[in-house]
Amino acid sequence: MFEQLTAMPKYEEYKDSGVEWLGEIPEHWNIRKLGFLGEFSASGIDKYIKLNESKVKIINFTDVYGNMNRIIDSSFNFMEVTTPEFNRIRNIVKKGDLIFLPSSETYEDLGLSALVNEDLDNTSYSYHVIRFRFQCEIAHSFRKYLTNNSFVLNQFSRAGKGTTRKIIGRNVFKNILVLIPLLHEQTSIAAFLDRKTAQIDQAVAIKEKQIVLLKERKQILIKNAVIRGLNSDVPMRDSGVDWIGDIPVHWEVTRLKFIFSETNERTKTGKEILFSLRMEQGLVPHDEVSDKHIADENLVDYKIVRPSQMVMNRMRAAIGIFGLANHYGLVSPDYAVFNMECSVFPDYFLRLFKTALIGEQFRLNSKGLGTGSSGFMRLYTENFGDIKVPLPSREEQAAIITYIETESIKINQAISLQQQQIDKLKEYKATLINSAVTGKIRVPELVDSLVA
């Protein structure tokens, strides 16, 4: 893949760019400050609606951040807000404008931009982004590549200031250096990159779909194992519970309250290790997943958790936020901590609790306002305990977990391989763009045009 770049033709003559970390550029290319190419402006438009102001649609932070195509067009579902009429008129975007991110949570995302690819009806931009309007001739198709490359984005990263939120000022934007090929070269480079990046994006999309299918296969495997068992030849019977359906004839059905009992042990000192509960990792030390340190005195009366206990996030049980404790420590007082009967193989129920089937039962049995994911719905212990579940023997529970773990390793390896290939494709895409826009390669279309 990367060998193809090495084999591509180069320009006949190069010159020192004057920028140490850029190196040489084609002899006839120029370096300019971005401020010399056009004008930056901010709209000041916030996300509110006032009756005495004019309606306008706005391009927001999220329309630029994560925009892999670096294109904004009428297919976007823009937010509609209001602003004074004079401000609406002054800040309407036009085809060819670039919309930049002046702030972000990471330095790497500072200065990302997207090209307004068509004239949009009554559309402006929010105060979270800034607009750049070209005042010199730069090929429309090349504009999205002009700044979305490592040469430019590295400059933005270096200039960023801040801790929680990184910010770059207007003067930084004006002084950012960009590379300017000849106009016909800009068109050739853009056409080449459009075609090549579309091919790469398509390959990435195929592999991402394969990952989704592998994850679905894994979830189906887990669901079938914890509900139906491992032996397809075993006679089945109706469990008598709609969400469970048929189960092996020798399995039991029980309510959770008969095998799970809540414990409510509290710390008096707060000196124990605090654990946070995460979807994938389970219980992990709080300091490993958060920069916010909590003093011992603020942890007094938190719940104590001991090895082999099950912890449930009451508000997020419906999406499978459960964990098994491997160490002594503390958890949030809003969590539920359970001891389990000897008939329970803990990992079996941890797997069961993370399936969508029982997740729906957790949601239906939660109490409160809103929805289980965004409101104040809680799965209280008495409601949790009333839910019926399948109960294989402890030995069969253990065998099911061994099977799930063995098969999951295979599927996870397949997912990892696909992800590695995706990462390589994305790396190649970035390298291809950087090589083309910095003149390290001469695109084939340009070679053909020069020969002709």
| Token couple for 181 | 């090929």
Same domain, 207 and 241: no
pLDDT in tens, 218-233: 999 999 999 999 998 9
Q: What is the pLDDT of residue 8?
A: 87
Residue 446 has pLDDT above 60, yes or no: no
pLDDT in tens, 301-331: 999 999 999 999 999 999 999 999 999 999 9
Residue 288 has pLDDT above 60, yes or no: yes
Of the candidates 251, 260, 429, the residue with the CA atom closest to the CA atom of residue 339:
260
β-pair type (282-285, 275-278): antiparallel
Distance (Å, whole) CA 240 – CA 356: 19
Same domain, 10 and 41: no
Please report which confidence band the pLDDT of residue 4 belongs to, taking 50, 70 and 90 as the band edges: confident
The CATH number that applies at residue 309 is 3.90.220.20
Report the pLDDT averaged over residues 84-98. Answer: 96
Q: What is the pLDDT of residue 451?
A: 41
Domain end position, chosen among 364, 391, 418:
391
- pTM (2 d.p.): 0.82
Cα 381–chain centre separation: 33
Number of structural domains in the chain: 3
Same domain, 142 and 281: no
Residue 388's contacts (CB-CB under 8 Å, 6 or more residues apart) are 239, 241, 244, 253, 254, 255, 256
What is the gyration radius of the CA atoms in the chain, in angstroms? 29
Q: Are 285 and 291 in contact (CB under 8 A)?
A: no
Same domain, 425 and 276: no
In whole angstroms, how far apart are CA 49 and each of 74, 85, 125, 238? Answer: 22, 13, 15, 56
pLDDT in tens, 20-32: 889 999 999 999 9
Domain of 191 in residue numbering reads as 1-23+183-229+394-452
Same domain, 190 and 325: no
Residue 375 has pLDDT above 80, yes or no: no
- Residue 337's DSSP bridge partners are 263, 311
Q: Average pLDDT, whole number, for the chain?
A: 93
Residue 360 has pLDDT above 90, yes or no: yes
| Token couple for 372 | 């289980």
pLDDT in tens, 387-435: 999 999 999 999 999 999 999 999 999 999 999 999 999 999 999 999 9
Same domain, 149 and 188: no
Residue 445 has pLDDT above 80, yes or no: no
In whole angstroms, how far apart are CA 240 and each of 237, 243, 254? Answer: 9, 9, 11
| Token couple for 243 | 């969400």
Same domain, 292 and 347: yes
Lowest mean pLDDT among 146-160, 276-290, 359-373: 359-373
CB atoms closer than 10 angstroms to residue 64: 22
Domain end position, chosen among 339, 359, 391:
391
β-pair type (329-331, 38-41): unpaired
The residue written with tokens 């398509």 in the block is 202
Residue 152 has pLDDT above 90, yes or no: yes
Q: What is the pLDDT of residue 155?
A: 94
Same domain, 383 and 404: no
Q: Are 355 and 222 in contact (CB under 8 A)?
A: yes
Same domain, 239 and 385: yes
Q: Rounded to the nearest 5 degrees, what angle is found at the Cα of 74, between the Cα atoms of 69 and 75? A: 65
Domain end position, chosen among 344, 362, 391:
391
Q: What is the dihedral of CA 418, 424, 428, 430, to 10 degrees?
A: 100
